[in-house]
Amino acid sequence: GQSLEQPSEVTAVEGAIVQINCTYQTSGFYGLSWYQQHDGGAPTFLSYNGLDGLEETGRFSSFLSRSDSYGYLLLQELQMKDSASYFCAVSFSGGYNKLIFGAGTRLAVHP
Amino acid sequence: NAGVTQTPKFRILKIGQSMTLQCAQDMNHNYMYWYRQDPGMGLKLIYYSVGAGITDKGEVPNGYNVSRSTTEYFPLRLELAAPSQTSVYFCASSQTGGTGELFFGEGSRLTVL
């Protein structure tokens, strides 16, 4: 089966940097995605790591280590609008973007 | 470009009733998915489709059915609604596999009483 672990809550202040970790156990791992979801909204795609290493997209970066079954999302220069839930999701062999999601990390950004 | 459109946005059902959640995408995406999200939880995959006429079960398919007669539409059928099916349902689509990127609709909030 597949399982993902991520912290349930993280708190930070505006302008700071926060890292949200994700560990996974899955057979036939293909890649790791990150999604953002504001309360009452739909999940929106942030990033994808198919290979080991760091992917950077503006203020957000994502990292993957296949050997450690571990990844993280790094958010820099935090803004109030970054307050949301963040989900890691794994896709596994066969592609099809069939994603299994973690339970999510709720990020609260304070002034 | 509307993206992924879901209807209805809200619905209340009585136990034992049936209904269909509609999902349409105008991006010509091959892959489509149905997820459910219970309060404070992650998304659980119900069914997915890799093309017209091809569907397969996800993590939590019991109590649901799907069909995909065209690329654009991917309705989700709930038979004999139960309180355990109270949830927010999200439809999503993807152009190809291997990108990890899904485009989600705004969701359909279903309550079964």
A111 HSE (CA, 13 A, CB side) = 0
**Is the pLDDT at B106 greater than 70, yes or no?**
yes
Instruction: Give the model confidence (pLDDT) of A48-97 as tens digits.
Output: 999 999 999 999 999 999 999 999 999 999 999 999 999 999 997 667 78
Task: Give the three-class secondary structure for A80.
Answer: helix
Q: Which residue has the higher pLDDT, B98 or B71?
A: B71
- Residue B26: pLDDT band with limits 50, 70, 90: very high
Instruction: Give the model confidence (pLDDT) of B2-18 as tens digits.
Output: 899 999 999 999 999 99
Q: Residues B69-80, buried b or exposed e (16+ Cβ, 10 A)?
A: eebbebbbebee
CB proximity B31 to A under 8 Å = yes
Average pLDDT, chain B: 95
Contact list, A42 vs chain B (CB under 8 Å): 90, 104-107
Contact list, B99 vs chain A (CB under 8 Å): 48, 97
Identify the DSSP state of A81: G
Separation between Cα atoms, residue B51 and residue B55, nearest integer Å: 8
A76 HSE (CA, 13 A, CB side) = 7
Nearest chain B alpha carbon to A89: B100
Q: Which two tokens stand for residue A10?
A: 């993280």
Separation between Cα atoms, residue A32 and residue A50, nearest integer Å: 7
Subunit contact B31:A96, Cβ cutoff 8 A: yes
First and final C-alpha spacing in chain A: 41
Contact list, A87 vs chain B (CB under 8 Å): 42-43
- Residue B40: pLDDT band with limits 50, 70, 90: confident
Separation between Cα atoms, residue B63 and residue B92, nearest integer Å: 20
Subunit contact B96:A43, Cβ cutoff 8 A: no
